Amino acid sequence: MREEDLDWVVYHRIPETGGITAEDLVATTGFESGAVAASLERLERYLLVRRSGEMVHLLSLQESLIGCQCRCAKDNMPFVIENGIIRAKRSEE
């Protein structure tokens, strides 16, 4: 199975509200845990999901866009996002 197809199945098994564990994704998709873990890494890198401890959550469109802007303009942004919290950058003198 192509990575894109695997990612599509994994992504669509994550509930829109709440979250799911990687272990539950393995059970619901029937894929091996290594394949699901690799898929989650790609989905997180593509700013489609967020992992918080054991749970995987879908990112909203707004969260994805902010994450993309932060990634693309990392040095020029007046803030950083750390663990889902937006913080002003410290001014370095």
pTM of the predicted protein model: 0.75
Beta bridge partners of 56: 20, 51
At how many degrees (to 10) do helices 3-12 and 33-45 cross? 90
Residue 76 CB contacts under 8 Å (≥ 6 apart), including other chains: none
Ordered structural domains, the chain, with CATH? 1-59 (1.10.10.10), 60-93 (no CATH)
Residue 71 has pLDDT above 50, yes or no: yes
Give per-residue pLDDT as tens, 10-62: 999 999 888 999 999 999 999 999 999 999 999 999 999 999 989 999 999 88
